[in-house]
Homo-oligomer: A and B are copies of this chain.
Amino acid sequence: MTTRTAAPAPVSHTPVVDALGRRITSGTLAVGDVLTLAEVEAEFQVSRTVARESARVLEAHGLIASRRRVGLVVLPRSEWDNLDVTVIEWMLDGPYRGETLLELTQLRTAVEPLAARLAALRATNAQRAELVRWADELSTLGGRGQGAGAEYLAADISYHSLLLESSGNTLFAQLTEPIAEVLRGRSMRGLTPSMPRVGTLEAHVRTAQAIFRGDAEAAEHAAREHLVLVAREVEPT
């Protein structure tokens, strides 16, 4: 279950899009399967207009293509907007949750060191101070053996989200939500030990402090140090 942050629209096409989106991302509807507007209308008891608008939204996410005389054709995964938060959410709710978490973790380990470097160069003073605060909080909680608790998870999410935002790169900032979900996923699967692995807490603190004093090289290095551990956890081979 994902925290549904964006549900301000009680519009009737939303449930249709959601249901079909999940059906496709879960594989219930396979590549090449077709469904017609008439079928959608019938199944969801909606008008033609709503069915068409739903199709347009799914099309915008790259899940289907609408072809005349044929219907709505399910596209292969390579066509999907796999980095789209909506699509990611569907994937994380479905049977490919594991693979998706893995891929997101890889993306995270790739991005965070550079985010740390950029944060050291461009973060605001307020951001630098807050990063240090969160790192200290993590250190305190982890040292007390509360690494598996909800409080630690919340602090972890705050720290990493703030790091991405402080990088000043919009694309990195966009990864905040998915990466928060990765941390939640790791936590729920019991991958976060109550007593964090040796070096983790120190790496967080050192990263934050390097950012605080604007030392790009040290920030990148410290961040990578932590993430190497995370990456190896989930690596193939």
Contact = CB atoms under 8 A, between A and B. Distances in A.
A9 B115 CA distance: 38
Interface of A: 8-9, 13, 49, 52-53, 56-57, 59-61, 65-66, 77-78, 81-86, 103-104, 106-107, 109-111, 113-115, 118, 121-122, 169-174, 216, 231, 235-237
14 contacts: A57-B59, A81-B81, A84-B84, A103-B171, A104-B171, A106-B114, A106-B172, A107-B111, A107-B171, A107-B172, A110-B110, A110-B111, A121-B235, A121-B237
A5 to B, nearest CB: 11
Nearest to A81: B84
Contacts of A118: 106, 236
Grouping DSSP codes into helix (H, G, I), strand (E, B) and loop, the A interface class, with mixed when no group exceeds half, is: helix
A81 to B, nearest CB: 6
A169 B103 contact: yes
Contacts of A56: 13, 53, 56-57, 60
In the A-B complex, the 7 residue pairs with the smallest Cβ-Cβ separation, listed nearest first, are A83-B83, A60-B60, A110-B114, A57-B60, A110-B111, A53-B56, A82-B174
Contacts of A86: 60
Contacts of A172: 103, 106-107
A59 B121 CA distance: 34
Given A52-B53, A83-B83, A110-B110, 11 more contacts: A8-B65, A57-B59, A84-B84, A103-B169, A103-B171, A107-B169, A110-B113, A111-B111, A121-B235, A121-B236, A216-B237
A81 B174 CA distance: 8
A231 B169 CA distance: 14
A219 to B, nearest CB: 13
